[in-house]
């Protein structure tokens, strides 16, 4: 559903099932955008005359803003639909809202929704000339986040094949972790470790080809990359933890624990960061942290994905050439 008949990216809904070459193309394009001279001023004309709608049914700071900057740097017209004041809150169905926005004329929807599958649903029923980019759906997927994480890892480590990567925290409620696992697997990462208390580890997750740890000290020993995740209280419907303080005591990334990883290990976090809950401030702001680089890479990765989907449009003006 995401690819055209000739294998081009039409929608970006999930990493699952995408070929490695396509993921590499996203990373290569993103890296090219980063290398453009004077990048804050350059506006590539790839999306000139195109309209992008940001449809965020759930809160977001960095994802929404970096999608917005990416669209503007590609010369698109961008509308941030204020969904809290939209007619969906007056009982209009999602599909009716989508039809109404379509009638205003647009080329791309960037969708964030608390329900898993929302972006797929919109992609299935929207007009055929529209591309849908998933900016996070429920606990299911967050593909552009995973790709900006892959870009950050590649910038520091190069080849994925020898790497040991630990993803630590609330795996159960994390769409980011799911997309990262698919991306790391597709890019042939050496070992993926998941570290969480039993209550935050999804049942049967080993089937995704990962190694499971309930002890952070064992889980991060000798790794090249540590990805910390936030406790997603808004997606927990029962008490899964004794207390936040106990969680930090058992799973918080402190300087002492970080010293168990490789000396040149990098520390990542998709944000928002809860200091003193999953990570010590000294680590979040320390020399091994690449958290802010992840944010900057988000712009380039979203530019890459937007340029690729517009290139798949039959009448697209963009030849997606960034030079």
CB 286, CB 261: distance < 8 Å: no
Under the binding rule (CB under 6 A), the answer on residue 169 touching ligand NCD is no
In whole angstroms, what is the distance from residue 196 CA to residue 250 CA? 10
The single residue of 5, 89, 90, 238 carrying the catalytic annotation is 90
In whole angstroms, what is the distance from residue 151 CA to residue 32 CA? 12
Q: Annotated catalytic, 173?
A: no
The single residue of 50, 112, 139, 230 carrying the catalytic annotation is 112
Q: Which two tokens stand for residue 313?
A: 């449009």
Residue 161 Cβ, how far from ligand NCD at the closest point, in Å? 27
Q: Annotated catalytic, 62?
A: yes
The single residue of 142, 178, 182, 313 carrying the catalytic annotation is 142
CB-nearer residue toward ligand NCD: 107 or 251 = 251
Residue 273 Cβ, how far from ligand NCD at the closest point, in Å? 9
Q: Tokens 């759930």 map to which residue? A: 58
Exactly one of 29, 140, 154, 175 binds ligand NCD (CB under 6 A); which one?
175
Give the single-character DSSP code of 115: S
Give the single-character DSSP code of 87: G
CB-nearer residue toward ligand NCD: 3 or 241 = 241
CB 190, CB 222: distance < 8 Å: no
Q: Annotated catalytic, 221?
A: no
CB 151, CB 301: distance < 8 Å: yes
* Bond into 26 cis (ω within 30): no
CB 130, CB 109: distance < 8 Å: yes
Give the footprint of ligand NCD on residues 264-303 (CB under 6 A).
270-271
Q: Tokens 């994480």 map to which residue? A: 149
Q: Annotated catalytic, 142?
A: yes
Q: Which two tokens stand for residue 235?
A: 């997606």
Site string for ligand NCD, 38-77 (x = CB under 6 A): ------------------------xx--------------
Residue 159 Cβ, how far from ligand NCD at the closest point, in Å? 26
Q: Which two tokens stand for residue 178?
A: 């799911």
The single residue of 62, 235, 250, 275 carrying the catalytic annotation is 62
Q: Which two tokens stand for residue 71?
A: 């669209």
Tell which residue, 201, 202, 116, 186, has the closest CA to residue 147.
186
Residue at shortest CB range from ligand NCD: 230
In whole angstroms, what is the distance from residue 99 CA to residue 267 CA? 42
Exactly one of 18, 23, 78, 176 binds ligand NCD (CB under 6 A); which one?
176
Give the footprint of ligand NCD on residues 138-167 (CB under 6 A).
142, 145
In whole angstroms, what is the distance from residue 171 CA to residue 273 CA? 15
Q: Tokens 């930090």 map to which residue? A: 248
Residue 90 Cβ, how far from ligand NCD at the closest point, in Å? 26
The single residue of 10, 29, 50, 63 carrying the catalytic annotation is 63
Q: Annotated catalytic, 63?
A: yes
Residue 298 Cβ, how far from ligand NCD at the closest point, in Å? 8
Give the footprint of ligand NCD on residues 217-256 (CB under 6 A).
230, 232
Residue 45 Cβ, how far from ligand NCD at the closest point, in Å? 28
Q: What are phi and psi of 111, to 5 degrees?
A: -120, 125
Total of residues contacting ligand NCD (CB under 6 A): 11
Give the residues lining the site for ligand NCD (CB under 6 A): 62-63, 136, 142, 145, 175-176, 230, 232, 270-271
Instruction: Report the catalytic residues.
Output: 62-63, 90, 112, 142
């Amino acid at each position: 559903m995401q690819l055209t008949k000739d294998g081009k990216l039409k929608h970006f809904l999930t990493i699952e099932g995408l070929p490695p070459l396509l993921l590499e193309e996203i990373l290569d394009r993103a890296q090219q955008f980063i290398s453009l001279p004077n990048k804050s001023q350059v506006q590539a004309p790839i999306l000139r005359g195109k309209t992008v709608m940001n449809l965020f049914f759930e809160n977001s700071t960095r994802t929404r803003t970096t999608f917005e900057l990416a669209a503007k740097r590609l010369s698109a017209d961008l509308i941030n639909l204020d969904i809290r004041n939209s007619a969906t809150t007056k009982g209009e169905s999602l599909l009716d809202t989508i039809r109404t926005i379509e009638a205003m004329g647009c080329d791309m929807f960037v969708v964030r929704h608390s329900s898993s599958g929302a972006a797929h649903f919109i992609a299935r029923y929207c007009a055929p000339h529209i591309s849908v980019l998933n900016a996070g759906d429920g606990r299911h997927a967050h593909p552009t986040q995973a790709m900006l994480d892959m870009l950050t890892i590649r910038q520091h480590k190069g080849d994925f094949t020898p790497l040991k990567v630990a993803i630590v925290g609330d795996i159960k409620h994390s769409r980011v972790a799911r997309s990262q696992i698919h991306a790391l697997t597709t890019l042939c990462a050496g070992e993926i470790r998941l570290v969480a208390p039993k209550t935050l580890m999804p049942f049967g997750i080993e089937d995704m080809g990962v190694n499971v740890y309930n002890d952070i000290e064992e889980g991060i020993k000798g790794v090249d990359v540590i990805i910390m995740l936030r406790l997603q209280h808004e997606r927990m419907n029962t008490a899964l933890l004794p207390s936040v303080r106990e969680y930090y005591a058992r799973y918080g990334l402190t300087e002492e624990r970080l010293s168990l990883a490789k000396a040149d290990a990098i520390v990542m976090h998709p944000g928002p960061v809860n200091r003193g809950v999953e990570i010590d401030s000294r680590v979040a702001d320390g020399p091994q942290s690449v958290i802010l680089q992840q944010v900057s890479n988000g712009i380039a990765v979203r530019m890459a994905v937007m340029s690729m989907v517009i290139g798949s449009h039959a009448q697209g003006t963009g030849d997606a050439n960034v030079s």
